[in-house]
Structure 1
Amino acid sequence: MISDEKGISMPVFLIERRYAAQFEASAERAGQINLINDDEGVRWLYSFLSKDKRKSYCLYDAPSEEAVRNAARRAGLPADVIVEVADRVSPDGALSPL
């Protein structure tokens, strides 16, 4: 769990998104997504984009999976797989909470 700006811990979710066409990132689009996320109470932490730009893997903190799905729907983004994550494993095998 990651704490928000108020110190409240929220679950962390990994979202796999599959796009029909190549994804094109822009500051304007990111701003629109962030406004919707704020309204839904979710926070976009960061994303990884596949080499072919047809998939992304995004890390969000949110109160629930439903909040993530609602934000994605409103933003017109796919949310094909949503997994709540709780721990991080380091290359040395150490396990630590997010």
Structure 2
Amino acid sequence: MPRYMVERIFPDGLNIPVDASGAEALGKVVATNSEQGVTWVHSYVSDDKTRTFCIYDAPTPDAIRQVAERNGLPVKAITEVSVLAPYFYH
């Protein structure tokens, strides 16, 4: 399955409560994603919380766009990526 990096911009900042409501919100995102065969691997969040860089496994970029819309999440860019690790060359 292809791997993608999804860049998102949150002009007002990303605010996910660190409690049961935050866990529930993220669980709903995961459930919606799975309906299209999209797996959220992990995300990186900028210090000011206005940008995220999310790693997904998905069948197509369109599948990511579809679930993002259903989840109410912005998409600035989707780039197919592969892993490059410095230890590979040792």
Q: Specify the alignment match of 2:9 in structure 1.
A: 18
TM-score by length of 1: 0.79
Q: Percent identity?
A: 36
- Structure 2 unaligned regions, length at least 5: 17-21
Looking at both structures, which has the greater relative contact order when contacts are Cα pairs under 8 Å and sequence separation is at least 6?
A: 2
Cα deviation digits, residues 13-66 of structure 1 (max 9, x gap): 000000121101221110110011011110000001100000000000000000
Q: Which has more helix, going by share of residues? A: 2
Matches within 5 A, 1:25-36: 25=16, 26-36=22-32
Q: Pick from 23, 39, 45: which aligns with 1:43?
A: 39
C-alpha root-mean-square deviation of aligned residues, in Å?
1.3
Q: Pick from 71, 75, 87: which aligns with 2:67?
A: 71
Structure 2 residue identity aligned to 1:63: P
Q: Pick from 32, 51, 55: which aligns with 2:51?
A: 55
- Structure 1 unaligned regions, length at least 5: 1-9
Secondary structure of the structure 2 residue equivalent to 1:31:
helix
Per-residue deviation at 1:93? Answer: 7.4
Q: Which has more strand, going by share of residues? A: 1
